[in-house]
Amino acid sequence: MRIIPAIDIIDGKCVRLSKGDYQTKKIYNENPLEVAKQFADSGIQYLHLVDLDGAKSNHIVNYKTLESICSQTNLKVDFGGGLKSNEDLRVAFESGANQITAGSIAIKNPHMFYEWLEKYGREKIILGADCHHRKIVTNAWLQQFEVDVLDFIKDKKSKGVRDVICTDVSKDGMLEGSSIGLYQEILNEVDVNLIASGGVISIEELKQLSKIGCEGAIIGKAIYEGNISLKELEELC
């Protein structure tokens, strides 16, 4: 299973939120590149980079941060947050993103989402399936749809999606454990590369996620708060 640390960006700074609430913002480092280099120096190969300003603005904002991380580390970066147009995607990939994560666009403008799958290939486009009480949420988790997350993933899988990041908003940033039951249900029903996101708190939990078949796991606050050390991740990698 791939270990994927997360860096969330607001105003060019490395932050974390709780349950996606911008009012809970906590700044962990003024320089995201410095954090990314620490990950790379620990043997980590992947990074989940989220443009929270972009998610609110509905267009890419922090592409310069993406560019600096991609040009100055060997991390393979998947980038998300506010990617709503062909121009946004062009900027993201030209700035060095290895993959992009598309969530809002997949439910609001599925035709464009399918065009992206066709143009860039399914190995470049990750479906962002963010949910709250199983219902899909978008736009920095401020808008909810009456669409069950499992049905959403099944539908997009039938259209060619290979990789899915599923974030349970109720767990995100709470350090209370992830939605292992939900991930097990998804994996039992759909053949996708599932990346768990939200609430991961320990090395033991990472092992559980690997055991049920998750292709990757995104870790955020557990690293920044010291619940999981970079040394532990280095050993795991």
3-state secondary structure of 179: coil
Task: Work out the burial of residue 191: count CB atoms within 10 Å of its CB; fewer than 13 is exposed, 13-18 middle, 19 or more buried.
Answer: exposed
Six-digit token pair at 135? 């219902």
Question: What does the CA dihedral 134, 220, 4, 144 come to, rounded to 10 degrees?
Answer: 20
Q: How far apart are CA 196 and CA 198, in angstroms?
A: 7
C-alpha R_g of the chain: 16
Query: Helices marked H in 95-148 — which ranges?
Result: 104-108, 110-120
Q: Decide if 8 is catalytic.
A: yes
How many C-beta atoms lie closer than 10 Å to residue 127's C-beta? 26
Six-digit token pair at 46? 């992947």
3-state secondary structure of 11: coil
Name the active-site residue from 78, 88, 130, 168: 130
Q: Decide if 130 is catalytic.
A: yes
Q: Which residues are catalytic?
A: 8, 130
